[in-house]
Each structure stands twice: as C-alpha cells, then as structure tokens.
Amino acid sequence: MALKTYLEATKTKYTKKYKAMNPSRITTTVGLNIGKIDVDGVRLNFWDLGGQQELQSLWDKYYAECHAVIYIVDSSDRDRVSESKETFDRMIASEHLSGVPLLVLANKQDIPDCMGVHTVKPIFNQNAHLIGARDIMLMATSALTGDGVDEGIRWLVDCIKRNSVERPPRNHDDNL
C-alpha cells in the first residue's frame, strides 16, 4: 500500500489536473500497478510491484530495464523491519541492479513513534557491500501527507540523468 500511496502523491504533485485517489480507498498492490510522470525532461515510469512473498520472484524480470529503484520501508512497523531488510538485501544483490540509483524511503513519518531515518539507516546499512557503487539516499517521507515526495523524486531524476551513460533511456521504438 505504501508505494501505491506514494505513487498517488507523486502523480498529484507532478501531473496537472490529476485527481488523486482518496487515500482511504487505496489498497495493497497485488500484482502490478503502473504510473508515469514527467519531471525536468525525464519521464519516470513507475512499476509498483506487489511486495507479497509469492510475488517477489517476479521482481527480477523488471530489474534489467529499470533506471532506478524506490524501496519503501514502513517505518511504523517495527515488527516487520527485519523482514523488509531481508527483502531489500535480496533485491540489491541482483546483478541486474548493479549501479542503479536507489532511493530508500522511511515512510509513514506522520505516525507518532515511527522509526526515524537515524533508526532505519543502520538497519539497512548492515550489508553495505551489497549496495556497492551506486547513488543511494535514505529519506524520511509520508506518502499520505506528501512530505518528502518532491525531494525524493528530484534526487532520483538527478541521479538518472547522471547515470544515463551507464543505463541510457530506452526509445519508444525499442518496445516493438
């Protein structure tokens, strides 16, 4: 649900006349949710991949074509943060994601007593060797309120532009 809410907040912020979905109607992603926005001459196509264990095996099929990854941590769920960390480690270990910019969002900062960036960072930095040589940013955000959305997207766009030599954008003709 976090990425779907984040995607809604992003589309609301960057798409003129976009009518956002009521947050109370947003449900957990099952399968795939797609969205796109244009920022500073860059088109961002979002593939919101369901996080359920049985769907994670499908993620690898999208890695070879991605130019960046947004990984959202539910900073209000202390009981599942280690599970999220294990999923994160499996994801970044993929050879297809080598060098791809990574935006990690400590989401739900609007919830009292959530884990702040200073708590989340050491947990996700335990296997820093898997992160390797790539741009990486850990930011506090609230997809529900929109706090941190703009900063994260702008950082990601800057990284994608810098990384375009290593991972050039695809032309529309390449999809044929």
Binding site for Mg(2+), by residue number, is 12, 29
Q: Answer for the pair 152, 118: CB distance below 8 angstroms, yes or no.
A: no
DSSP string, 93-145: T-GGGTT--EEEEEE-TTSTT---HHHHHHHHTTTHHHH-SS-EEEEE-BTTT
Binding-site residue ranges? 12, 29, 51, 107-110
Separation between Cα atoms, residue 138 and residue 118, nearest integer Å: 10
DSSP state of 64: T
Binding-site residue ranges for GTP? 51, 107-110
Separation between Cα atoms, residue 74 and residue 101, nearest integer Å: 20
Number of helical H runs and strand E runs in the chain: 6, 5
